[in-house]
Structure 1
Amino acid sequence: MSVDHVEPAESSGGAETVTTAAAASVTYYPIAPGVRLNVRSGPGTAYSVVRVLPEGSKVAIYCQTPGTTVSGPYGTSNIWDNIGSGEYVSDAYVHTGSDGYVASRCA
């Protein structure tokens, strides 16, 4: 069952910043070790799962928005990270190094 849960695994490290000609810079953040994380169609657990990130994944956060409150390895948060078009993950499972917003609010 792939829910927003934790299983033992090794840490995948910290955030990485990648710079390309197309984008000024995009920062990738690791998801919690040992987690297969549900990616949802909106900022909450009531939204459908559109895919599941494998263990050891890193995600780019394009914007953040409030949604369903979730408890995870990095605390309890109502912040949801937009990682692509129509793709959201709970910030409680993403190691951003902050309990608050690290990206702009989604429009």
Structure 2
Amino acid sequence: MAVDRAEEAEATTEAIAAGTAAVRYYPVAPGVRLNVRSGPGTAYPVVRVLPEGAKVPIFCQTPGTTVTGPYGTSKIWDNIDNGEYVSDAYVKTGSDGYVAPRCS
């Protein structure tokens, strides 16, 4: 088994060296079932609802509708999957600004 772990560590090192980084997950505010929308704003339809205790990846961020939530007021929307956005005001990123690249 030690060989397998060594190979995994080497593969991880190679991936990092190649410029790929692990996706970071951020917690949604406690006690919140968060609406996931098809675009960066409250006018976009809800495509699903995240359960309480969810953590989300942030692939990129973009400005959209201003929302007030547990983590302040923000116009930043987090892209958590293809065509899926949540308001950054409900995600604990530790910052009032952008923590991921802007969506193109």
- Give the TM-score normalised by structure 1: 0.79
- Give the equivalent residue in structure 2 for 1:3: none
Compare CA radii of gyration and give the structure with the larger one.
Answer: 2
Secondary structure at 2:100's aligned position in 1?
coil
- The structure where helix makes up a greater share of residues is 2
Aligned partners of 2:89, 2:74: CA distance in 1, in Å?
A: 6
Residues paired across the two proteins, number = 87
Question: In structure 2, what is the Cα distance between the partners aligned to 1:54 and 1:44?
Answer: 20
Alignment match, 1:11? none
Structure 2 gaps of 5+ residues are 1-11
TM-score, reference length from structure 2: 0.81
The superposition leaves residues 13-71 of structure 1 with CA deviations (integer Å, 9 ceiling, x where unpaired) of: xxxxxxx76x5211000000000000000000000000000000000000000000000
Cα distance in 1 for partners of 2:22, 2:33 equals 26
Distance 1:100 1:81 in 2: 11
- Corresponding position of 2:23: 26
The CA RMSD over aligned residues, in Å, is 1.1
Structure 1 residue runs without a partner (length 5+): 1-19
Work out the CA distance in 2 between the residues paired with 1:67 and 1:26. 23
Identity of aligned residues (%): 83
Instruction: Report the 3-state secondary structure (helix = DSSP H, G, I; strand = E; otherwise coil) of the residue aligned with 1:26.
Output: coil
Structure 2 residue 72 is the aligned partner of structure 1 residue 36: no
Q: How does 1:1-107 map to 2 (within 5 A)?
A: 24-107=21-104
Runs ≥4 in structure 1, deviation > 6 angstroms?
Answer: none
Q: Secondary structure at the match of 1:69?
A: strand
